[in-house]
C-alpha cells in the first residue's frame, strides 16, 4: 500500500459504517487522519467506530435533513477541532423498474438521499473550509451517472446530479486551496446489492471489461490521494473507477 500523508488531517466519511465508506475510512486512518463516520444506522456506525480504533468518532446522521447535517458538522468540529476532508459517500440504489413503472415517491426518496444529501453535506461543511482556505472534498457518484443504467433511472439521474454539483463547487472555489472532485465507480459487491435484482447485477457485470466487480479498497486508494494536500491543482474533475467501462 502506498503511504499517503494525511497526518493530522480531520475527515468526515458519510456512509462510513460499512462497504465503500468503511474502506475509505480505514485507508484515511492508515494514512494518519482522524475520521468521523457519519451514517444513518446508529447501531452499526457505533460498532464500526469502535472496531476502527481509538480516535475514530461518529455521528448518526440522516443527510436528507439539512438541520441534522448542520448539527452533525458542528458536533464534529467540536470533537475534532475542524474538518479538513469530506468524503460524501452515502447513498442507496433503490428499486429496479422502468421509468414508466417507477413509483414517484421512490424516485423522490433516491434523489433526496443521493443528491440532496450530498448537497446538504457540502453546504454544511464547506463554509469553514473557505474560512480556513483549506479543504478537500470527494463526492462519490457512479458510472451510472455518466452512462445511465436501464431500470435504474432514479439512481442514474441522482448520480449525474452529483457529478454536476461537484463541477459547480469546484469552479466556485477554484481560487482557494480547496479541491472538490468526484469518483464514478462501477459496481462493488457490497450490501447495496441487496437492493438490486439479480438481472440488474448481471447487467452491471456484463458491462465491465475487466470482468469483475470493483473492490472497495480500490476506491479507497484513489480517494486517499484526492483528499491529500498533494492534490493541489485538480478540482471539479471526475475520476473513473469503471474497469474500462467508461467511454468519456
Question: What pTM does this model have?
Answer: 0.94
| CATH number, position 193 | 3.40.50.720
Query: What's the CA gap between 194 and 44, in Å, rounded?
Result: 17
* Grid coordinates belonging to 118: 450530498
Query: What's the CA gap between 178 and 226, in Å, rounded?
Result: 11
- The verdict on residue 3 lying in a domain is no
**For the chain, what is the domain count?**
1
Per-residue pLDDT reduced to its tens digit, 211-241? 888 899 999 999 999 999 999 999 999 999 9
Query: What's the CA gap between 95 and 22, in Å, rounded?
Result: 24
DSSP states along 173-184: TTTTTEEEEEEE
Catalytic residue among 102, 134, 155, 248: 155
Per-residue pLDDT reduced to its tens digit, 137-162? 999 999 999 999 999 999 999 999 99
Query: What's the CA gap between 166 and 185, in Å, rounded?
Result: 15
Environment class of 205 (CB within 10 Å of its CB; exposed 0-12, middle 13-18, buried 19+): middle
Is 155 catalytic? The answer is yes
Domain range enclosing 174: 10-241
- The verdict on residue 248 lying in a domain is no
Closest to 99 measured CA to CA, from 53, 156, 184: 156
Q: For residue 195, what pLDDT is reported?
A: 66
- The verdict on residue 246 lying in a domain is no
Amino acid at each position: 500500500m502506498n503511504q499517503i500523508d494525511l497526518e493530522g488531517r480531520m475527515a468526515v466519511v458519510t456512509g462510513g459504517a460499512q462497504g465503500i465508506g468503511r474502506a475509505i475510512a480505514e485507508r484515511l486512518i492508515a494514512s494518519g487522519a482522524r475520521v468521523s463516520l457519519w451514517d444513518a444506522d446508529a447501531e452499526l456506525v457505533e460498532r464500526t467506530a469502535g472496531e476502527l480504533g481509538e480516535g475514530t468518532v461518529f455521528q448518526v446522521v440522516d443527510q436528507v435533513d439539512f438541520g441534522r447535517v448542520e448539527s452533525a458538522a458542528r458536533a464534529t468540529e467540536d470533537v475534532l477541532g475542524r474538518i479538513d476532508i469530506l468524503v460524501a459517500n452515502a447513498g442507496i440504489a433503490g428499486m429496479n423498474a422502468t421509468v414508466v413503472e417507477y413509483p414517484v415517491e421512490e424516485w423522490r426518496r433516491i434523489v433526496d438521499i443521493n443528491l440532496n444529501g450530498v448537497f446538504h453535506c457540502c453546504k454544511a461543511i464547506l463554509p469553514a473550509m473557505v474560512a480556513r482556505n483549506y479543504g478537500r472534498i470527494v463526492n462519490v457518484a457512479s458510472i451510472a451517472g455518466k452512462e445511465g443504467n436501464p431500470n435504474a433511472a432514479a439512481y442514474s439521474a441522482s448520480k449525474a446530479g452529483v457529478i454536476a454539483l461537484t463541477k459547480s463547487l469546484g469552479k466556485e472555489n477554484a481560487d482557494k486551496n480547496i479541491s472538490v472532485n468526484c469518483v464514478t465507480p462501477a459496481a462493488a459487491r457490497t450490501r447495496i446489492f441487496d437492493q438490486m435484482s439479480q438481472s440488474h447485477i448481471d447487467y452491471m457485470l456484463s458491462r465491465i471489461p475487466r470482468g469483475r466487480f470493483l473492490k472497495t479498497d480500490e476506491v479507497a486508494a484513489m480517494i486517499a490521494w484526492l483528499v491529500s494536500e498533494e492534490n493541489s491543482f485538480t478540482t471539479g474533475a471526475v475520476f473513473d473507477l469503471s474497469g474500462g467501462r467508461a467511454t468519456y
